[in-house]
Amino acid sequence: MKNVMVIYGTRPEAVKVAPLIRALRESDVLTPIVVSTGQHREMLDQVNRWFGIEPDHDLDVFKAGQSLTELSARILTDLPAVLQRYAPDAVVVQGDTTTVAMAAIACFYEQVPVVHLEAGLRSGDITSPFPEEANRRLAGQVTALHLAPTSAARDNLLRENFDPAAVVVTGNTVIDALQWTADQPVRFQDERIAASAASGRPMILLTTHRRENWGEPMLHIGAAVRRLAERFPDHVVVFPAHKNPTVREAIIPLIGDLPNVIVCEPLDYPEFVHAQRLSRIVLTDSGGVQEEAPSFGRPVLVLRDNTERPEAVTAGTVKLIGTDADRIVAEVSQLIEDPATYERMSQAVNPYGDGHASHRCVAAIAALLGVGERVAEFEVSAG
């Protein structure tokens, strides 16, 4: 058996590695070692409980208010001892967080092969999203096996002259997690959301937290949502407020007093999946939501000027609208008032996965370690 260490630290990472950890547990030739950095704490623990994951080791690097430099230093300082203790044959990192970049560098220094899950995403702007675009590029430089979620991500890597033999198109494991979670019964802990869901009133789901939107852009988002809530009082806006005070102080004062706006604590992962399914429109600056919501045929308006996930934009279920308040109001209003526009965007086309990405990943890792063979790569169904 070959030991494969999976390192992650945030809620989105946990969601995307959970199906892979499950598939590794089922493998006859690979066994997982699960390591959490604890970059996110409360939200990360919720996902671990939902998927039944108990890390073998937790670095517990979370510290309120720490800078990216402090976080990076703690991970890079603490992780080598863990790598030396467990001596994995390969290490999987996922996505584009600070955990990913620092873990990849630590593994390189320890001469442990790096497997980059969700490799090849590019916005084309090193500063946006910040610091994610730089993190994923840094990780890619020391990666032995690039698990690209889509053919577009693979093409990005090939344009950067990575070895084609080291790139595999797997689909995104987020769809594996989403499909499993959507089939589970879930009850909203916030009674206001439960009552709204039961009432059948149309819901607009809002999420925003990106660093590049801090300050004036976030104030514009809040102002736009207020105008929309007042213009469409039959709609309910649900805003699970990110824990970051910068986000809360910008948005909540602008919308928190409206009767058809529900400001709540961050929803746990299963509740958030079901909120996406129940929503009619999704407003977000999250990368993961751009991947998830199209599975439910929900139009996604992205509060950013660029995206490293262009596939759903091309498919027509996701649209980049930026943070200008007038633009946000106009785009949401069109979806509400023009059934034809809504119908075009709500076609359930998801180019990101088919629910079997984790099994392709395990096969590719086994092949890397000389104990298995790759399987057919992911392709978007013409249907």
12 preceded by a cis bond (ω within 30 of 0)? no
- Do residues 160 and 65 both lie within one domain? yes
Please identify which of the residues 13, 45, 89, 96 carries the catalytic annotation.
96
Tokens (6 digits) for 133? 């675009």
Is 216 catalytic? The answer is no
Q: For 258-312, what is each residue's pLDDT tens digit?
A: 999 999 999 999 999 999 999 999 999 988 899 899 889 999 999 999 888 888 8
Q: 315 phi and psi, to 5 degrees?
A: -70, -20
Could you tell me the strand order of the sheet in which 236-240 lies? 261-264, 236-240, 203-207, 281-284, 300-302, 318-320
Is 374 catalytic? The answer is no
- Do residues 110 and 218 both lie within one domain? no
Is 235 catalytic? The answer is no
Is 118 catalytic? The answer is yes
Q: In which band, very low, low, confident or very high, does the pLDDT at 383 lie, cut at 50, 70 and 90?
A: very low
Let me know if residue 374 belongs to a domain. no
- Do residues 244 and 358 both lie within one domain? no
d(CA 222, CA 159): 39
270 preceded by a cis bond (ω within 30 of 0)? no
- Do residues 55 and 150 both lie within one domain? yes
Let me know if residue 108 belongs to a domain. yes
Q: What's the CATH number where 103 sits?
A: 3.40.50.2000
Let me know if residue 181 belongs to a domain. no
Q: Would you give the DSSP letter of residue 242?
A: -
Q: In which band, very low, low, confident or very high, does the pLDDT at 381 lie, cut at 50, 70 and 90?
A: low
Please identify which of the residues 74, 209, 277, 304 carries the catalytic annotation.
209
Let me know if residue 331 belongs to a domain. yes
- Do residues 101 and 207 both lie within one domain? no
Let me know if residue 381 belongs to a domain. no
Let me know if residue 376 belongs to a domain. no
CB 111 within 8 A of CB 80: no
Tokens (6 digits) for 323? 């943070």
CB 93 within 8 A of CB 14: no
Give the per-residue pLDDT at 62.
Answer: 81
Please identify which of the residues 11, 235, 242, 298 carries the catalytic annotation.
242
pTM of the model as a whole: 0.86
Give the per-residue pLDDT at 307.
Answer: 87
Residue 133: CB atoms within 10 A of its CB come to: 20
- Do residues 302 and 331 both lie within one domain? yes
| Measured torsion, CA atoms of residues 168, 170, 171, 174, in degrees rounded to the nearest 10 | -110
- Do residues 6 and 98 both lie within one domain? yes
- Do residues 226 and 154 both lie within one domain? no
Is 96 catalytic? The answer is yes
Q: Residue 52 belongs to what domain range?
A: 2-172+353-368
Let me know if residue 287 belongs to a domain. yes
Q: For 50-83, what is each residue's pLDDT tens digit?
A: 999 999 999 998 888 889 999 999 999 999 999 9
Helix, strand or coil, per DSSP, at residue 93: strand
Q: In which band, very low, low, confident or very high, does the pLDDT at 348 lie, cut at 50, 70 and 90?
A: low
Please identify which of the residues 118, 176, 291, 292 carries the catalytic annotation.
118
Q: Which of 89, 80, 81 is nearest to 372 (CA)?
A: 89
Query: Total structural domains in the chain?
Result: 2
- Token pair 């090849």 is found at 120
- Do residues 16 and 132 both lie within one domain? yes
Give the per-residue pLDDT at 114.
Answer: 98
User: Does the pLDDT of residue 12 top 50, yes or no?
Assistant: yes
Q: Which of 119, 150, 117, 105 is nearest to 6 (CA)?
A: 117
What is the chain's mean pLDDT, rounded?
94
Please identify which of the residues 137, 211, 280, 327 carries the catalytic annotation.
211
Q: 327 phi and psi, to 5 degrees?
A: -65, -45
- Do residues 341 and 358 both lie within one domain? no
d(CA 224, CA 232): 12
Q: Give helix 173-182 / helix 357-368 axis angle, nearest 10°.
A: 140
